[in-house]
Chain A
Amino acid sequence: MTELAADPNLGPAKLAAADHAEGMSYLQTVPRRLVTLYLPLGIILVVLLFPFYWMALTAIKPDEQLLDLDTYNPFWTTAPTLKHIAALLFESPYPHWLWNTMLVAVVATTLSIIASVLAAYAIVRLRFRGATWVGGAIFLAYLVPPSILFIPLSSVVFQYGLFDTPFALVLTYPTILIPFSTWLLMGYFKAIPFELEECALIDGASRWQILTKIIVPLAVPGLISAFIFCFTLCWNEFIYALTFISSTQNKTVPVAIVNEFVDGDIYRWGSLMAGALCGSLPLVVLYAFFVEHYVAAMTGAVKE
């Protein structure tokens, strides 16, 4: 598949090239395009985005409009309020949970990226004996889902005395992240010309110098994609955080929202939605900044 995989960097370039080509669209009339293209696309987009609109709207609706669907138009709000969000940020441990999530995500991602850069470089460029097998094993590791690991891992975490500490998550998340980012970086490293490395070897550089001074700077787009991907995965992780963390102050946002915000109060929806919104925003903002890298990484990794 190497021919097909060639180079994740080519992704955006190809994409752009295809975009400029007018193609065969002149064969279609405007009304026809309206029915076959814009209408279905519009419906799908509305369905995909409606839950977020509803989440955001509920978060800023005052309580009396929240449950009264008949006197007010439920699809809009006349008196938006920041009450729920303010309560969340100033009267609940939510900022602390956000901080926990951020900390775990950053540390686990950094550890994973370092390990993945080394591993990907070794598999692609050192080509030690058995490198192909190791590459295959890493791919298989990606296919092992957390839902079959959490029971034995909980006893491992307990044995090592990590239960209910952030370390339980920082050390277990890399098992999800390393296989994926190694795989992603292997694609980027393969695209870097061999000649650069040969020159450096002749000039007397060590492998370590080659990696830090040539390969890593050239693979920065790949590193950014891997970073965002890992960060998103950490933020999304639920079952390990649910199993390994028990005290309220150590929880991450997804677990805390599900366990701490759900009480009998019928007006809880406002604060629940505010919590979900505030938990999603950091990722959406990060994604908005690096969307090109993200899409390229996804396409590149799959083509591999």
Chain B
Amino acid sequence: MTDIALKAPGVPPPSPPPLAAERGKRISAWTRLTANRNWLGLWFMLPAAAFLILFLAYPLALGIWISFTDARIGQSGAFIGLENYEWLSDDSVFWLSVFNTLLYTAVASVVKFAIGLYLALLLNENMPFKALLRAIVLIPFIVPTVLSAIAFWWLFDAQFSIISWSLRHLGLISGNIDFLGDPWNARWSVIFANIWRGIPFVAITLLAGLQTVPPSLFEAATIDGASRWQIFRHVTYPLLTPIIAVVMTFSVLFTFTDFQLIWVLTKGGPVNATQLMATLSYQRAIIAGHLGEGAAISSAMIPFLLGAILISWFGLQRRKWQQGESND
């Protein structure tokens, strides 16, 4: 509230300056609107809030509502209660997509974390061209997913795949691998592409975390005779936990809701082997036109996402408590 005392009524952001007649009055309503902290806060928040309420909060609620209706494209449906969910619970394709999504998320996140952490540790060493290497590592993250997915589509081609060709010439396999045509091959192929795309983000953010660990701790541990594994396990890893929690939340969240990569590589095929919940909801809602059912599938993702967020949140809390930090 000190603002009012400190300053003359200034130029407010969205509206013209106050009239001269109003200046000098004690505290007019206008002054309050332009100088009071809470009102000012409201004005400043207005553009962001408008976007987020109109195009994020409202659709989020609307999505849950649509999942309780039999809406189709072009017609708003009537309330049908839990019928969409009941229908889905008997739908084997839906459960297959849940299984695929969980497998995809679990395998991809674990591998991304392991290789990303390893890469971060490697990049943290002293070597020539360090900055350049870091910049190069991020390139897969910069290039739009769809465009790199197209490159993978070509790499995974059934007939002309360079991977098959190389393995054949090395004498490891006799025939071409059908990367995207066989259910399990397709699953591993899309998981590989997702890992490839996700490693740079994990590595660079963990590297940032590593930079905050004082080198003197490593030196002290070395003098105490700790092995490299012990240094990692008892010095590096505990100090990295908060950043790991944040990075892994994002990684899990974005892997779980992935759409682009699958859509480009397999469109959910062969026979739904790579159908994720996001791609299934797109197929049911936009292609088949059953908005209600599609919305029910995407609403079914919300509990999983909340679970991931809560786990990482409590992971963070535990760290704070261990470090004796106050919650801010």
Residue numbers of A with Cβ under 8 A of B are: 1-4, 11, 14-15, 18-19, 21-25, 27, 33, 37-38, 40-41, 44-45, 47-49, 51-52, 54-55, 58, 66-67, 69, 74-75, 111-112, 114-116, 118-119, 121-123, 126-129, 131, 134, 138, 141, 143-156, 171-172, 174-175, 178-179, 182, 201-202, 204-209, 232, 235-236, 238-239, 242-243, 253-255, 257-258, 269, 272-273, 275-276, 279-280, 283-284, 287-288, 291, 294-295, 298-300, 302-303
Given contacts A25-B125, A207-B40, 20 further A-B contacts (CB under 8 A): A24-B222, A112-B51, A118-B13, A126-B40, A127-B41, A129-B38, A143-B249, A147-B301, A150-B298, A152-B295, A156-B55, A156-B62, A206-B34, A236-B144, A238-B263, A257-B150, A276-B150, A295-B135, A299-B207, A302-B209
A272 and B150 in contact, given A172-B55, A175-B52 (Cβ under 8 angstroms):
yes
B52 to A148, Cβ gap below 8 A? no
Contact bitstring B44-80, A, C-beta under 8 A = 1, else 0: 1111110110111111101100100001000010000
B48 close to A175 (CB less than 8 A): no
- Which of A15, A238, A257, A283 meets B142, CB within 8 Å? A283
Stretch of B20-28, B90-98, B239-247 on the interface side: B239-247
- For the complex, what is the distance from the CA of A48 to the CA of B148, rounded to whole Å? 11
Other-chain residue from A178, A239, A257, A291 in contact with B135 (beta carbon distance below 8 A): A291
Contacts of A148 in B (CB 8 A): 60, 63, 257, 278, 298-299, 301-302, 305
Contact assessment for A118 and B60 in the assembled complex, using a CB-CB cutoff below 8 Å:
no
Sort chain B's interface into a size bin. Answer: 35 or more
Q: Which stretch of B104-112, B115-123, B178-186 is in the interface?
A: B115-123
Question: Which B residues are within 8 Å of any A CB, using their own CB?
Answer: 3, 6-13, 34, 37-38, 40-42, 44-49, 51-52, 54-60, 62-63, 66, 71, 76, 115, 118-119, 122-123, 125-127, 130-131, 133-140, 142-148, 150-152, 154-155, 157, 160, 162, 165, 196, 199-201, 204-205, 207-209, 211-212, 215, 218-219, 222, 242-243, 246-247, 249, 253-254, 256-260, 263-264, 278, 281-282, 285-286, 291, 294-295, 298-299, 301-302, 305, 309, 320, 325, 328
> Helix, strand, loop or mixed for chain A's interface?
helix
Would you give the shortest CB distance from B32 to chain A, in whole angstroms? Answer: 13
Q: In the complex, what distance in Å separates the CA atom of A58 from the CA atom of B86?
A: 48
Residues of B within 8 A of A21 (CB): 215
With CB as the reference atom, state the residue of chain B lying closest to A18.
B211
Nearest chain A CB to B22 CB, angstrom units? 15
Q: How far is the CB of B28 from chain A (nearest CB, A)?
A: 16
User: Are the CB atoms of B10 and A273 closer together than 8 Å?
Assistant: no
